[in-house]
Each structure stands twice: as C-alpha cells, then as structure tokens.
Amino acid sequence: MLTAVTFVLILTSAVVVHELAHYLNARSVGVPVRAFSVGIGPVILRRRWRGTEWRLSLLPIGGYVDLPGMAPKVAEDGRLEHPDEGMAKKGLGAKLWVLVGGVIANYLLGAVLLAWAISLEPSYQEIVTGAPVAA
C-alpha cells in the first residue's frame, strides 16, 4: 500500500510541476489560462483565482492547463473554425515557450531530485566521484 501511495505522490508532484510550468509560461507571454487542473475525472475542489479556475479532480493521474486558441472553435452551424484568440495569436517563439515549458520543468525536477538523492547517500557519492567516503 505504501508503494502505491508513494507512486501517486511522485506522479502528482511531477504533474503539478509540469502543468505549473505551462501555466507560468503562458501567463509570461500574455496568454490567459482558463483552467489549471490536477487529476482527471470528477472535480472535487474548485476555486477561481487571478482569472483561472483551479481544479483538483478525483483521480490524480494527470492534469491539464486549458488555454484559449489551442483547439478549433465550433461555429453556430456546427462547422469548425480556426481559433482567433490566445495561443492562436502568438508567434512561434511564444508558442514553443508555452508548449515546452512542462518538459523543461520535469527535466529540471528530475535533475534536482537526483542531485538531492546523491547528496544524501554516501555510497552514491563514492560511485560518482570515485573517492572513498568516510563514514
């Protein structure tokens, strides 16, 4: 049971860091964020802050940031139209900044956690540096 709880905590932490990077990068280039959600399924907690609806859903195995201009709009007659707001108005550089933010954040999270683990465990220090570690 402890292994499952640990797995869910690690996964949820990675999702939060990933989605928070998308959120912060979108805000930094002027794209409004409609919703920030951690988890999937039924929403169990919902709050509005700074123009964004913050959601916590029942199953903590994913998440998303809802950005305008990422999907086609549906016209009144049912046809799909190109979006004309949010991300659709941004240039390539801004779009890339928002989209790769999550990947960069997860890479940095992994590097920080690995460095932390190495610093805590003397045997890892010996493997990495080659020098014996005094107990």
In a domain, 135, yes or no: no
Q: Which amino acid is at 106?
A: N
Number of residues in the chain: 135
Q: Which of helix, strand or coil describes residue 131? A: coil
In a domain, 72, yes or no: yes
Please say whether the beta carbons of 86 and 66 come within 8 A.
no
Please say whether the beta carbons of 37 and 61 come within 8 A.
no
- Residue 18 has a CB neighbour count (10 Å cut-off) of 22
Position 8 scores a pLDDT of: 81
Position 134 scores a pLDDT of: 65
Position 48 scores a pLDDT of: 92
Position 117 scores a pLDDT of: 79
Position 135 scores a pLDDT of: 59
Instruction: Please give the residue range of the domain that contains residue 95.
Output: 2-129
Position 129 scores a pLDDT of: 72
Share of the chain above pLDDT 90, in %: 41
In a domain, 47, yes or no: yes
Residues near 33 by beta carbon (within 8 Å), at least 6 away in sequence: 23, 26, 27, 51, 52, 65, 66, 67
Q: Which residues pair with 63 in a beta bridge?
A: 38
Active site residues: 19
Position 65 scores a pLDDT of: 92
Please list the ranges in the chain whose pLDDT falls under 70: 122, 124-125, 128, 133-135
In a domain, 110, yes or no: yes
- HSE-CB at 2 with a 13 A cutoff on CA atoms is 0
Number of domains observed in the structure of the chain: 1
In a domain, 51, yes or no: yes
In a domain, 134, yes or no: no
Position 107 scores a pLDDT of: 94
pTM as predicted: 0.79
In a domain, 42, yes or no: yes
Please say whether the beta carbons of 14 and 107 come within 8 A.
no
In a domain, 90, yes or no: yes
